[in-house]
Amino acid sequence: MHGPASPGWLLVALCALTGAYCLLRMRSAVPEQRRSAGGEALMGFGMAAMAVPATVFTPPSWAWPGYAAVFGAAGLRALWAARDRPHHLHHAVGAAAMVYMAAVMATAPGSAHHAHGGGVPLVTGPLLLYFTGYVLLSGVRLVPVAAAAGGGPGWGDRPELALACRLSMAIGMVAMLLTL
């Protein structure tokens, strides 16, 4: 992240806490929720690691291609799952965004961490539009779910909490793309 370290640490905390909650959601009795939660936990922790302020940690040169490989594999898995469960397309877009950001960081001249102005506007722009739209749509969808929430499933199986996780990661993605 550029500028003061405080926003970077807030983004790290948001993404890490979201990833931790997604790990807890993996204990669900519903197999599809477990699979989704695992991919979301990977995304949350990956975003947290990418958001660590550059003044604190500069990753080795092999880290960015490693990120690209991990999230490329996660994106392929999400695409495979999207054949019969279309909601996994969002996971594929998120993984593609992570691959793109890792590639930008890897090719940044003279910087091994958090490129400034290094993103390709033709790629960054549509990703920003997608995630901004996702944030707005998820926020609208979350209001009725939260208002109707009551008893029922365990805290790990609550759909409004899963939606809140996806919303917080999308907000984090918008923040990361804006600093690219």
- Write out pLDDT tens, residues 90-138: 999 999 999 999 999 888 755 444 445 556 788 999 999 999 999 999 8
Q: Which burial class, exposed, middle or buried, applies to 67 when counting CB atoms under 10 A from its CB (0-12, 13-18, 19+)?
A: buried
Give the tokens for residue 22.
Answer: 């997604």
Tell me: the pLDDT tens digits for 43-74?
A: 999 999 999 888 888 888 899 999 999 999 99
Do residues 42 and 99 touch, judged by C-beta distance below 8 A? no
Instruction: Give CA–CA dist 110/92, Å, rounded.
Output: 30
Q: Give the largest Cα separation in the chain, rounded.
A: 54
Contact 3, 51 (CB under 8 A): no
pTM (two decimals): 0.83
